[in-house]
Amino acid sequence: MSKMDSTLSYITDQLKALTSIASPTGYTRAATDYLMETLRDMGFGPERSNKGNVLVELGGEGEPLVLASHVDTLGAMVRSIKDNGRLRPTTLGGHQWSTADGENCTVYTRDGKVFTGVVLNTEPSAHVADEPVKTIEKNMEILLDENVDSKDDVLELGIQTGDIIAMDPRTTVTESGYIKSRFLDDKLSASILLGLARAVAAGEVTLSRKVSLLFTVYEEVGHGGAFVPADTREMISVDMGCVGDDLAAPSAWCRFAPRIRVAPTTTTW
């Protein structure tokens, strides 16, 4: 296997590892634990700020450059518990509920309990409903994989307003080399930066300037970086390119990883 193929294989493995760790905005500790451990294992000295961002210096001298990606993702939160034992969600970060209708999900409670469920609109059956409802937030609910029929049943499980809801990532790497997954934004970028760190640690890349990596945890709600080292000369945010009629990002290629192809529909969440 060539060095490039081995790096790409490593990046793909890191993507699978990172997407398997639920990390909606505000619930990123486990994801950053993983980053800290992975970077330490490479021999680096990563630091985590009080805010939760992970910063690591890879080496090099002069013209300090920071490469940033975010490991928080879109997700949801329990807005309220309905009398029929279903959860009404609200979004964490901006997204379209239509992309989550029918998706399996996991609820993480304050005291560390984990419950699975499914996101459905309030009229999911065409056999029953006269008319479909719009897949907008007020019409969405979480059905838990638990025998709950009332609000009290749900409260007894330990689920409360404000608990975190994460959608299944559905990460798939096809034989043809396509990656299909939620949360490629921005865990694919974070994986690529880990691939760079590994190449530096292995001596496969020589840095011509000082390079640090910054993994942020509040990008989806708009205050991701909020801090960079005082000597930073340039900072590049490595993130997905939005696809749209009048936008420049190519529909089927991920610009920051020319050999990793990404289907356009998988760049949302």
Active site residues: 219
CA distance 262 to 174: 11
Are 144 and 105 in contact by the 8 Å Cβ rule? The answer is no
Minimum CB distance to Zn ion, residue 52 (Å): 16
Residue 185 in contact with Zn ion, rule: CB under 5 A: yes
Among positions 57, 146, 153, 239, the unique one binding Zn ion when judged by CB under 5 A: 239
Q: How far is CA 145 from CA 24, 83, 107, 139, 149, in A?
A: 21, 17, 11, 19, 11
> Which one of the spans 48-56, 184-192, 243-251, 253-261 is the region binding Zn ion (CB under 5 A)?
184-192
Q: Does 186 bind Zn ion (CB under 5 A)?
A: yes
Nearest to Zn ion of 163, 185 (CB atom)? 185
Please give the C-alpha separations between residue 232 and each of 8, 147, 187, in angstroms, as whole numbers: 28, 54, 23
How far apart are CB 14 and Zn ion at their closest, in Å?
17
Stretch that binds Zn ion, among 26-34, 57-65, 93-101, 232-240 (CB under 5 A): 232-240
- Comparing CB distances to Zn ion, the nearer of 141 and 186 is 186
241 contributes a contact to Zn ion by CB under 5 A: no
CA-CA distance, 11 to 34, in Å (whole number)?
A: 14
Is residue 146 part of the contact set for Zn ion (CB under 5 A)?
no
Can you name the residues that pair with 234 across neighbouring β-strands?
A: 65
Say how far apart CA 170 and CA 192 lie, in whole Å. 19
Least Å distance, CB 80 to Zn ion, is: 28
- Give the binding site for Zn ion (CB under 5 A): 185-186, 239
